[in-house]
Amino acid sequence: MENSKITDRVFVHVEKSFNVPAERVFDAWLDVASMHNWMFGPSVRDEEIVSLNNDPRPQGRFSFVVKRGNEILDHTGTYLEIQRPARLVFTWGVNMEGGAESVVKIDIRDTPEGCHLKLEHDMDVKWAEYAERTQEGWTYMLNLLGKWFSGAGI
């Protein structure tokens, strides 16, 4: 797990192995019914889910709205690439106008024990001060995803 900076871009890298098939991990990223177990909601952090809307197809958009305290956060993006169960690429922004988003690339490969996920979050250098927090956030959520798959709950 390392962060790197190239000129006007900052790249956050996170990896995680799972003891379940790649298809299950891939599908968890697109299934709004399971996101409350690992990505959003009171089981994940002190927040309330307002709405989770998803159109999981190339050029489809998503909007995941949560309320944290008095703040409403809308996590939005567009799917750029969907290759089940190996690759998912989408833009990612929070309360942003289109075009200001970053890009998240997820690659999942089968392993003898299940699968291994590599996540790269490509951000404009103007977000460099958020790189460590971004890495911690993705690491936390992927760990919760692993716990959910193991039946340990959250």
Number of compact structural domains in the chain = 1
Coarse DSSP helix, strand, coil percentages of the chain, rounded to the nearest 5 percent: 25, 45, 30
133 is in which domain, residue-wise?
3-150
pTM of this prediction?
Answer: 0.89
Three-state helix/strand/coil letters over 70-101: CEEEEEEEEEEEEECCCEEEEEEEECCCCCCC
Q: What percent of the chain has pLDDT over 70?
A: 90
Per-residue pLDDT tens over the stretch 70-117: 999 999 999 999 999 999 999 999 886 555 679 999 999 999 999 999
Q: Which residue has the higher pLDDT, 7 or 127?
A: 127
Provide the CATH number for the domain around residue 63: 3.30.530.20
